[in-house]
Chains A and B, each alone.
Chain A
Amino acid sequence: MSKELLKGNEAIVVGAILAGCRSYFGYPITPASEIAETAALLMPKVGGTFIQAESEIGAINMVYGAASCGQRTMTASSSPGISLKQEGISYCACAELPCVVVDIMRGGPGLGNIGPEQADYNQMVKGGGHGNYKVVCLAPNGAQEMCDLTMLAFDLADTYRNPVAILADGFIGQMMEPVEIPAPVIDLPEKKWAVKGTGDTRDNLISSIYLKHDDLEAQIHKLYAKYNEIEKAEVRFEEYRLDDCEYVAVAYGIVSRILMSAIDEARDAGIKIGMLRPITLWPFPNARLRELSRHVKGMLVAECSTGMLIDDVKLAIECSVPVRLYSRVGGNIPSATELGIAIRQLQEELP
C-alpha cells in the first residue's frame, strides 16, 4: 500500500525524512506536538538526531548549528513558540543558512488558545525577526501538501541558502488525509560553504556580523538580489474554478478548503466565482492577481486573522477593484455557509 492515512503534522516529518533531513530540534506545544513526537519516533530509525530542546530559542539555535554544518535540519512550533524563534530565524537569514521552520498556527495574541488561526501571517510572511530579510513561506492546505511542500521547502532552502517556513494552522496539522509517499531524495546538493570539522573547510565561517556599515549594506543587497530571484522563479498558487469568473476569492490553508465548498455551492447558484489559493505566501502571486483584477468585479479575502492576507491582495492589485474581507479569529473558522453568505453579499454589492 503506497497511500498512508497521515495527520498533517506526521506528514511533515515523513516529508522531511524523505527530503534527507536528519535532525529535528523542537519543543512541545499544541497543536504542533505531533511533529516533535513523530520526529522522536522516526529520526533514530534513519540515523538522524532528535532533541527535545530546552526552549524554542534553544531549538532554533540548534538548527542554526546543524545548518552551519550543511545538514538538512528543521524545527517546528506553534504561534507563541514561533515568536520566540524569530531572533534565530533572523540570524539564519543573515548567515544564509538553509533550514525549515514549521508553524502550526493557533489562536493569539498572548497565550490565546489552541484552536486554529492564521494570525501569524505577518510574523512569518513579513519576516518576524529584526532586520532586512525575508523567509520563503509555503502554505499547505492538506496532508499531501504537508509532505510535498516540506520536501520542496528543503530544496528551496538549499537552493537559495535561506530559511523556508511552512505556515499551516491547527486544523491542517491535526487533520488526517491520505498521502501518497514520494520517492526519497538521496543526492543532496554539495555545500562547499559549510563548516564540516575537516581540513578543507577550515576557512569556512558562518556569521551574521558585518561590522562595517558598507559591508552590511552589501550583504543586505546580496540577500535582496536573491529575493528578487525567488520572486521571479518560485511563485506557486492553485486556481479553482476561475474560468469565466466575475469574482475572485483568495484564501490559504484551512480556509481555502472551506472556501472550495462555498464556491461549489455558489457556482451551483449561478454566481461566477473562483478561488486563487496562494501556495507561496511569499513570494506572493502578485502578477496573477493583477491579471485577474482586470477581468473581475471584485474580490473576497477569507482568513482566520483580522485582515493580514487582504493587505497583500490589495497591494498586488493596487486596489483596482473592491476587495472585501471575511474574517473569523480566536480559534473559530468560517463555515461554508458563512462564506456563501459573504459571496452573495459581494455579488449584491458589485452586481
Chain B
Amino acid sequence: MKDVFKKPDSFFDEFSRSAGVDKEATHYCPGCGHGNLHKLVAEAIDDLGIVDRTVFVSPVGCSVFGYYYFHVGNVQAAHGRAPAVATGVRRALPQSIVISYQGDGDLAAIGANEILQAANRGELMTVIFVNNAIYGMTGGQMAPTTLLGQKTTTTPYGRKIANEGYPLRVSELLSTLTAPVYIERCTLEDSKTIMKTRKAIRKALEYQISGKGFSLVEVLSPCPTGWEIEPLASREWLTKNMVSVFPPGVYKERTDAEPRTMEPLKVLNAQEVLGALNMSAGPDQRVASIPPDFPTHELVLAGFGGQGVLLLGQLLTKSSMTEGKFVSWLPSYGPEMRGGTANCHVVVSRRRIGSPFVPRPTLLIAMNQPSLEKFADSVRPGGMVVYDSSFVKTASIPSHVTPVPIPFSEIANQLGNAKTANMVAAGAIIALTGITEEESFTALIKKLRKKELIETNLKALAAGRESALALGIQVAGVGIH
C-alpha cells in the first residue's frame, strides 16, 4: 500500500533530543508558523534527495532547537552568526547543502552584518528567514521587523518612528546586492500561501544544488503567543497587518547565474605541500664556519620611508643567516611606515640571540639627518656611525664612536640609479664590519627576480665597498666581543 501521508525522512521519528517530556510533539506553541515551515523544509530535503548532504544551521531564537527535529547534520550557532557559521561549513564541505534557518531578531538585528556579507559573497547556502515581527524565544520583545504602533514588551506604548525607526525590509534590502540569485518573500496565511512557500523553498534549494549561488526565502509567520492573539485570529492578523508592510513576491531571481562546480577538497601529499610553499623541510644541512672571534653586531638602520633601509636590514640578516650565524631583524611597524621614517634593528651573532631589540647599537646606519639626530647618542662606546653624507650636513656625533661619512646617494646617482643607495651602504657596511661575507650577499642579489637590477646592485655594492676602504678606517673593534 502506498503511503499517502508520512513523516519526512529528514525528520526524526521521535524527538529524543528534546528537553521536554513529550518526544512526539514539537516545542512550538499552538498556531506557530515554525511547524508548517519545518515540514515544508523537511519535505523539500526528502524530495530533492539531499538528506545525506544537508547541514542545518540553527542559531538563537525559537528555531534554536532545529536539531530536535531535522535528522541531518546539525550545527547550532550563536545569536545572529548562522550565516558566518554556514560559510565555514560550506567552505569546509564543498559538496554539502547548507540551510541557515533564522528568525527576525537573529537575522535582521544582531546578525544583520553576517547575513548582508554572506549574501554579498554569494555563499552557496539557502537561508530560511522567519519574519514574525517579534522576538518569540525571549518573550515578545521588539524585533527590527516589528510594525509601527505594535506593542511588545519593549515597546509597551507601541513602536514609534522617533524612537525605533521603521520596520526593516530584509528581502528588499538584500535584493539590491548583485550576488544573490534568488530572494522571495512568502507568507503562511492559508493553504494557498503555504503552497507558494513550499514552492519557493524548493526553488531556493535547487539554486544551491545547481551551484548557482545564495538564496533566501523570507516567510511571514504568525506568533500567536508573542502577539497575544488566538492561533486562528493570528493568521488573520498577519494578512491584515503584515502583508502590506512586507509585500510578498520574488525580489530577485537570476536564472542565468553561472553555476559553480564544487569539487571535494584535494588532499595534498607532503611533497605537494612543500612545493606549494616553495620550501623544503628538515634540518639545515649547511656547515657553519663562523670565525671564533666573530663578535655580536647590533645594528640600527634608519632613514626615510622608501630609502630601502628595511630591505637593507633584511638582506644583511639573510646573508648572515646563510652563513649559519644567529640573526634577528625587527622593524618599526605601523603608521610610521607610511611616508615617515623607517628603522629596523638587526642582531647578528655566533651565539643564540637574546633580545632582538637594540636600544644601544654597535653600529648605526643613518640614511638621513633626522635618523642621525635620533639615534647617534644611543650608539655604544667604540661603536660606529655610518651615515649618508649626501643628506647629512651637520653631524654632531659623540666622541666615543667612529663617524663614517659616505655619500651613498651621490654615489648611487653617479651609477645611474638613486634607489641603489641602500646597496652602496651594504657594500660599505660589509667592508667596514665583516658582519657577513660579500660573497653571501652577492649570492642573494643574484636571486633577484628583475635581472636588470642584479648588475646595477652589484655595481652599487662594489662602489660602496671601495668608498669605505678609501677612508682607511681601522674597524677591528666594532661589535660586542
Contact = CB atoms under 8 A, between A and B. Distances in A.
B339 interface: no
A327 interface: no
A204 B113 contact: no
Contacts of A259: 354
Interface stretch (A48-56, A119-127, A314-322): A48-56
Nearest to A199: B52
Interface string B316-346: 0110011000111111011100000000000
Contact of A4 (B121, B265, B279): B279
B197 interface: no
B357 A73 contact: no
A183 B281 contact: yes
A186 B266 CA distance: 12
A17 B330 CA distance: 24
Contact of A30 (B90, B326, B333, B356): B333
Contacts of B327: 5, 177-178
A175 B268 contact: no
Interface residues of A, number: 84
Contacts of A61: 77-78, 81, 84-85, 88, 114
B292 interface: no
Interface in A140-186: 170-171, 174-178, 180-184, 186
Nearest to B117: A54
A137 interface: no
Contact of A42 (B89, B272, B277): B277
Interface string A1-23: 11111000000001001100011
A91 B326 CA distance: 42
Given A53-B117, A68-B92, 4 more contacts: A51-B91, A58-B84, A62-B84, A62-B85
Interface in A208-242: 208-209, 211-212
A67 interface: yes
A48 B273 CA distance: 11
A254 interface: yes
A65 B268 contact: no
B281 A62 contact: no
A23 B265 CA distance: 11
A114 B338 CA distance: 14
A176 B76 CA distance: 41
Contacts of B117: 53-54, 58
A289 to B, nearest CB: 22
A101 interface: no
Given A3-B321, A69-B93, A63 B75 contact: no
Nearest to B264: A47
Interface string A56-78: 01110111111111110100000
A17 B273 contact: yes
Nearest to A195: B73
B376 interface: no
A264 to B, nearest CB: 7
A178 B52 contact: no
22 contacts: A2-B283, A4-B279, A17-B276, A18-B277, A18-B281, A23-B91, A46-B276, A47-B266, A62-B85, A64-B81, A65-B85, A65-B86, A65-B87, A91-B78, A177-B353, A181-B281, A197-B55, A199-B52, A205-B74, A260-B354, A336-B359, A337-B359
A333 B357 contact: yes
Interface stretch (B64-72, B141-149, B389-397, B470-478): B64-72
Interface in A284-337: 333, 335-337
B75 A17 contact: no
B78 A88 contact: yes
B293 interface: no
B92 A69 contact: yes
8 closest A-B pairs by CB: A65-B88, A197-B96, A261-B354, A260-B354, A61-B84, A195-B73, A199-B52, A54-B117
Contacts of B285: 2
B428 to A, nearest CB: 22
A204 B74 contact: yes
Contact of B356 (A68, A73, A175, A186): A175
A61 B265 CA distance: 21
B318 A5 contact: yes
Interface of A: 1-5, 14, 17-18, 22-23, 25, 30-31, 42, 45-49, 51, 53-55, 57-59, 61-71, 73, 87-88, 91, 95, 114, 170-171, 174-178, 180-184, 186, 195-199, 201-209, 211-212, 254, 257-262, 264, 333, 335-337
A54 to B, nearest CB: 4
Nearest to B51: A202
Interface centre among B91, B272, B283 (most CB of A within 10 A): B91
Given A2-B282, A45-B277, A254 B52 contact: no
A197 B208 CA distance: 14
A66 B91 CA distance: 7
A196 B333 contact: no
Contacts of A51: 87, 91, 121
Name which of B81, B272, B331, B356 has the most chain A CB atoms within 10 A of its CB. Answer: B356
A209 B64 contact: yes
B46 to A, nearest CB: 13
Contacts of A55: 113
Contacts of A209: 64, 76
Contacts of B329: 5, 175-177
Contact of B273 (A58, A71, A184, A336): A184
B333 A197 contact: no
Nearest to A22: B265
A17 B411 CA distance: 45
B114 A54 contact: yes
Contacts of A260: 352, 354-355
Given A3-B284, A183-B282, A261 B78 contact: no
B280 interface: yes
A79 B302 CA distance: 28
Contacts of A88: 78, 81
